[in-house]
Chain A
Amino acid sequence: MTNPHVIHAATIVEKIRETADIHTYRLRINDEAERQRYHFAAGQFNMVSLFGVGEVAISIVSDPEEPESLDHTIRAVGRVTNAIARLQAGDVLGIRGPFGQGWPLDEAHGRDVVIVTGGLGCAPVVGAIEYVFRRRDQYGAVKILHGVKTPEDMVFHERFDRWERQPDTEVLLTSDRPGKLWRYHVGVVTELFEMVSFNPMRTIVLMCGPEIMMRVGVPILLRRGLPATSVYVSLERHMECGIGLCGHCQMGPYFVCKDGPVMRYDRIEPWLGRPGV
């Protein structure tokens, strides 16, 4: 069995600026054998480490069909991510993974898919969206609802533009605050719910973003007849091992790293928003 503690060197092939403090790092695993072995499911994450600094859990943004090119979109926000932000193409990071449970794309098969994301929460869902569009005829209508705090926080412009041009697909964007060039909705992401129709019995919802968005947003969807078992959320917690051993990511009875990060809403609902959980 493989040693889950071993990190693999991966070279930054390209560093793409998304916003002032968010960059996408396109990684290629250095070791040929490991590169061949490595496969991931949309929604899984890697433990990304910088030599001598530390390690953080980062979701894989790229398409699972192209595991040789691993995108990680990272906001410079803490000790490790700020150090990573100083790296350039050609520099080397370490990765361990992939870990965790991804999006239920088999279960979504044949159904309409509603994606609800907030802020950088759109990153863990990108792989799922690309997966669906590669098999466009196998899924029903796709509705992508995405909210940001300010227009400047908007990432993946090119992707959203491309997705909007897909058949039977709606992309709705909103910003909490208005901006000069912002031509979309202004308000919180849950306001977009009023602007889309969906058949609750044939829809699956994939959601990722701040927990407040899940706590407020999901009940609104449920009141429209959507079963709680049709909603999946991707959660975020402090992780140091990625394999359910270090204890930090516990949320009630779950380890977010191995039981999640994607969890079915009815299972996690009792714990969402509970203070101190």
Chain B
Amino acid sequence: MSVEGCRVLPSADCHLLLDALQAKGYCVIGPTLRDEAVVWDTITRVSDLPIGWRDRQEPGRYRLERTGTGEIFGVVHGPQSLKPFAFAPRESLLQIERTSNGWSIHPLFPKPEKIALLGARPCDVAGLAIQDQIFLRGPYRDPPYASRRENLFVIVVNCTRALSTCFCSSMKTGPRAQTGFDLALTELDDVLLIEAGSEAGKAILTALPMSPASEALLAKASKRIDACAESQTRLQEQEVLPQALYDAHDHQRWDEVASRCLACTNCTMVCPTCFCHTVEDRPALDGQHGERTRLWDSCFTHEHGYIHGKNIRPTIKDRYRMWLTHKFAAWHDQFGMSGCVGCGRCITWCPVGIDVREEVAALLASDGHSAARRSGSP
């Protein structure tokens, strides 16, 4: 955060930011209260935001509490990251019609809509960057993802409060966003510090009547963000992780965690980076046309590893090991980065409260290897 770039908007003037975004044609989407959780929804006025609420998250537990303050971004996050806005949970890929001499096939694209995401967290922004790597920079650029992604305007809110489940500082994705946003906010008592991270962000800022932030205010913001990082329960020794996890393939801990894991798929559904999907062909009843749809899938399902007559990963142990090893080891080989951003959602939304930090720590403990471990591990 530089002194020149950072400006101050009184929290009471937050509606000016909404106005500026709407004037530029953005549909503003932000956190809203629904069913005792925070979910993304359209924001038309500031009062749509969960002002005066905070979330308490623990392994297997999510609760909202009223604080009675004027804090706008007191809730850290809800179950969903930014993922659904670019990698849609259900995406129609093709329209297929039967013709006299076969089929005619029409690729489908999402309706272009300019969306401003207000209240994203640094971990979510990092998750989006990982998804970009997968869907845009591989051998194939995914057209539906690209189409949704280029219409997103991201307003991140730096974190000044960590949940018990947060470990972004271990993953170096937060609590301050470094890159990947159009605007970054830091909420300090009754003001919002704002800085632009893109040309589109600068264009919005120029429309707002704001004063430059003082050194004292910036120092206060840094202190709170640093304290947020300090307060987190860390993921240990992640530098050694790729190899250590590959080596831990026969660790007894997998049996132990598999005895608790329900294979419910929640962790993968709330993960900002999980990208597995299935493809479904749905014919209409008349058999003359149909649609090919892509849906989020999970490596915890029975079908995920199925191939004609056998299942590559038949047990929950196989699937939990696949998931965790993929996140913290294979992802490095595949995409040159970790597959975890430290948002902690997999911990909160796990119905039995499995904490990935504890699992990694247990897997790195040397006493769990069975004697039968094969030599020549990768």
Which residues of A are in contact with B by a Cβ distance under 8 Å?
1, 3-9, 11, 30, 49, 51-55, 77-78, 81, 92, 94, 236-238, 240-241, 243-248, 250, 252-255, 258, 269-271, 274-277
Distance in Å from the Cβ of B291 to the closest Cβ of chain A? 10
Residue pair A5, B143 in contact (C-beta under 8 Å): yes
Residue pair B315, A276 in contact (C-beta under 8 Å): yes
The total of interchain contacts (Cβ-Cβ below 8 angstroms) comes to: 134
Q: Which candidate, B38-46, B164-172, B273-281, is the interface stretch facing chain A?
A: B273-281
Contacts of B143 in A (CB 8 A): 3, 5
Q: Contacts A238-B304, A252-B378 given: A244-B139 contact, CB under 8 Å?
A: yes
| B93 contacts partner chain A, Cβ-Cβ < 8 Å | yes
CB-contact partner of A276 in B290, B306, B318, B376, under 8 A: B318
Complex: how many Å from CA A250 to CA B313? Answer: 11
Residue pair A11, B139 in contact (C-beta under 8 Å): no
CB-contact partner of A5 in B94, B134, B307, B321, under 8 A: B94
Complex: how many Å from CA A8 to CA B104? Answer: 9
The 3 A-B pairs of least Cβ separation, nearest first, read A276-B318, A52-B283, A247-B276
Q: Contacts A78-B308, A248-B304, A276-B318 given: A253-B102 contact, CB under 8 Å?
A: no
| B110 contacts partner chain A, Cβ-Cβ < 8 Å | no
Q: Give 18 A-B contacts (CB < 8 Å), ordered by A residue.
A: A4-B140, A6-B94, A6-B107, A9-B103, A9-B104, A49-B281, A51-B98, A51-B283, A78-B309, A246-B277, A246-B279, A253-B330, A254-B333, A258-B138, A269-B376, A270-B378, A276-B312, A276-B318
CB nearest neighbor in B for A237: B307
Complex: how many Å from CA A177 to CA B343? Answer: 57
Residue pair A92, B103 in contact (C-beta under 8 Å): yes
CB-contact partner of A238 in B246, B305, B326, under 8 A: B305
Residue pair A55, B276 in contact (C-beta under 8 Å): no
Complex: how many Å from CA A240 to CA B283? Answer: 18
What is the number of residues of chain B that contact chain A, defined by CB distance less than 8 Å?
57
Which residues of B are in contact with A by a Cβ distance under 8 Å?
93-94, 96, 98, 101-105, 107, 134-135, 138-143, 246, 249, 275-279, 281-283, 287, 290, 292, 297, 299, 304-309, 312-315, 317-319, 321-322, 326, 329-330, 333-334, 374, 376-378
Distance in Å from the Cβ of A22 to the closest Cβ of chain B? 13
Residue pair B140, A243 in contact (C-beta under 8 Å): yes
Distance in Å from the Cβ of A245 to the closest Cβ of chain B? 7
Residue pair A274, B96 in contact (C-beta under 8 Å): no
Residue pair B105, A7 in contact (C-beta under 8 Å): yes
CB nearest neighbor in A for B326: A250
CB nearest neighbor in A for B98: A51
Contacts of A54 in B (CB 8 A): 281
Complex: how many Å from CA A92 to CA B104? Answer: 11
CB-contact partner of B134 in A9, A78, A245, under 8 A: A245
Residue pair A52, B290 in contact (C-beta under 8 Å): yes
CB-contact partner of B139 in A81, A243, A254, A271, under 8 A: A243
Known: A247-B277, A247-B297, A248-B276. 18 other contacts (CB 8 A): A3-B107, A7-B94, A52-B96, A52-B283, A55-B281, A78-B309, A92-B103, A94-B96, A238-B304, A245-B140, A247-B276, A248-B305, A250-B326, A252-B246, A253-B329, A258-B138, A274-B374, A277-B312
Residue pair A247, B102 in contact (C-beta under 8 Å): no
Query: A77, A241, A243, A258 — which one has the most chain B CB atoms within 10 A of its CB?
Result: A241
Residue pair A275, B318 in contact (C-beta under 8 Å): yes
Contacts of A51 in B (CB 8 A): 96, 98, 103, 281, 283, 290
